[in-house]
Structure 1
Amino acid sequence: MNIKNVSVICPVFNEEAFIEACIISIIEQDYPQDAMEILFVDGRSTDHTVDIIRRYMEQYPFIKLLDNPERIVPHALNRGLQAAKGEVIMRLDGHCTYPTNYISELVKYLYLLNADNVGGVWSTQPAKDTPVCQAIALASSHPFGVGGSMHKIGASKIMETDTVPFGCYKREIFEKTGPFDTDLVRNQDDEFNGRLQNLGGKIYLIPQVVINYTARDTLCKMRKMYYQYGLYKPLVNKKLGAPTTVRQFFPLFFLLGLVFGGIGSLLSPFILQVYTTILLLYLFVGIVVGSMGAIRAHQPLLVLLMPYVFFSIHMSYGIGYIVGIFNVICKKTTQVTHSR
């Protein structure tokens, strides 16, 4: 393989629990270190994230630290792009660890497939060995929880797709697309990839490249994340001029069905029967998934937890989506203070 210079951009904020494992997995890459630069872009962390990064900078000169005063991800990515020197731009996440061939495989397929962006699949890991964390990880990687998002639920072969996690791009495509959209605290990858596809770009999922992604460690953090995913999706659709996927509407329809179905149930016995059947089916699916997870993890509480965790994901996303539609209609913006 013709060695390309690679610039890795990794936005971080308060990642002290995960950043060292992330850095070690980057250091252990089989890609030549003299062809790599690792740009950590910190959103003014208040923990020891920066101290840990600086400790490794003393040993490895290809690791660099940039400041992100705006504190949100798209600003971090754009600051990284401005500083990057590589022919290939790769985004990473401090919440993950990467196989030793991660960079080499993605760079290889980026050129072998004549692609504009390639990425791997997530292996979603629980943050802790507790029933709640196991339930969050399972729901976040199951089709019933996240739909047909192939990089989350897995794929069996290389395939063209609409988005991939993080992304490995040819540098020249940014001259066509422009930078990441700073209006989008979440879903900036989806919007960028939609923009890329609108310009004729090709995106491929490489399933043999597996990223270990650590799920959120509390239900509150999980709900906040999915709320933000839903919140910014209507804005992505507006910017692209069309919805990027059909699956994004299912939590919204489920939420509206709960509300209007509940009202209709008060007026019609038939609607009540249909409404009750759908809710029981939803509960049944959650219990079945929980039972299978309980057997694999030897954790019987998953049987009870999974319906609630699925419900939390769908409601959080659906409520966020409705608020996002309202914000787009009223031209309101959402203020945030940090990048995670």
Structure 2
Amino acid sequence: MPVLNEERHLRDAVRQVLEQDYEGPLEVVISVGPSHDRTQEVADAIAAADRRVVVVPNPTGRTPNALNAAIAASRNPIIARVDGHAILPRDYLRTAVETLEQTGADNVGGIMAAEGITPFEQAVACAMTSKIGVGNARFHTGGEAGPADTVYLGVFRRSALDRVGGYDEHFLRAQDWEMNHRIRETGGLVWFQPRMRVTYRPRPNVRALAKQYFHYGRWRRVVSRTHQGTINLRYLAPPAAVAAMALGLVVSPFFWPGLIIPGGYLAAILAGSVLTGRGLSGAALVRLPVVYAAMHISWGTGFLTSPPKLSKPRPKPERARLEDLFED
């Protein structure tokens, strides 16, 4: 469990793991980053009260580093990634272990079930569970159980993590997708299990949501540079839309039909909001077009502006030894 500034929710997050309907041995490893609240003190108190809980430091504050530190400190052959703000159903671990055994998969995961409290959060939850908002990713929108490119959180065989070297600490975002890609590239199976439904709390305002999706887009571009052939039309749609709208706005003072592109996008998300926002309150529904636009434009802008300097350095080829140059 990687945590940073989670003082308010950490006790509940750990309790829901320890109270899982799972009969096997269980441990919780909390990897604590340099927080500005009492997260460290709360984590230490939880560990002192329950010998099943271990606390390890994550001085970098980075998520992949935290995960690797926690994995290294764990002892069991199955590793479950858990977030401090996610709400697991009681049968989550039992379902995961059963699915691992039944399918032979290296990693299983389920649905990121976004649920909001405020009208804005409810609009975000609606967008994050619709194809208009996030495409056809089953861990967002649901679907049949089966092989998948990636899943939410994940419950892994330790042997698979050892095989691929754990999380790549270069990737500040998209580290789950990137590692699942390496698992699949080395012959492993990633399995989507819709019965593993995890409640997720969305970002509370437009600024936080836009920042989240900007970094998603920026780091997904880094993954695509690192692993050739891993990009598809679903990922290219937001940057293509952003580029087309920008072009339309630039030429519109000289060529008014350029406004058709941004105008068409606006009409599309308004219509899409009416179709997907059924059941939302009026306050949430009026926020839904803003949410869709923030998600699409931020992700697309992040992808387009992702600087090459973020790319993972390629290993330099070894220089030939001098004596090898003169071998017979």
The TM-score with structure 2 as length reference comes to 0.89
Deviates more, 1:97-106 or 1:318-327: 318-327
Match of 1:312 among 278, 286, 294: 294
Q: Which amino acid aligns with 1:109?
A: T
Q: Which amino acid aligns with 1:107?
A: V
Q: Which amino acid aligns with 1:12?
A: V
CA contact (8 A) 2:214 2:302 kept: yes
Aligned: 1:115 with 2:102: no
Distance 1:245 1:25, change over 3 A: farther
Match of 1:20 among 11, 27, 37: 11
How do 1:39-188 residues align onto structure 2 when only pairs under 5 Å count? 39-126=29-116, 129-155=117-143, 157-188=144-175
Q: Which SS does the other structure have where 1:94 is aligned?
A: coil
What residue number does 2:233 align with?
246
Cα distance in 2 for partners of 1:25, 1:174 equals 25
Cα distance in 1 for partners of 2:265, 2:81 equals 41
Deviates more, 1:271-280 or 1:71-80: 271-280
* Displacement of 1:273: 4.2
The percentage of counterpart residues that share the same residue type is 27
* Displacement of 1:330: 11
Cα distance in 1 for partners of 2:175, 2:211 equals 17
Q: Unaligned regions of 5+ residues in structure 1, if any?
A: 1-9, 332-340
* Displacement of 1:68: 0.1
The TM-score with structure 1 as length reference comes to 0.86
Q: Which SS does the other structure have where 1:64 is aligned?
A: strand
What residue number does 2:303 align with?
321
Cα distance in 2 for partners of 1:277, 1:30 equals 50
Match of 2:190 among 196, 203, 210: 203
Match of 1:281 among 268, 283, 287: 268
Cα distance in 1 for partners of 2:8, 2:58 equals 20
* Displacement of 1:307: 0.6
* Displacement of 1:277: 3.4
* Displacement of 1:11: 0.5
Q: Which SS does the other structure have where 1:106 is aligned?
A: helix
Rg: which structure is higher? 2
Cα distance in 2 for partners of 1:68, 1:201 equals 29
Cα distance in 1 for partners of 2:165, 2:10 equals 29
Q: Which amino acid aligns with 1:181?
A: D
CA contact (8 A) 1:122 1:152 kept: yes
Aligned: 1:260 with 2:247: yes
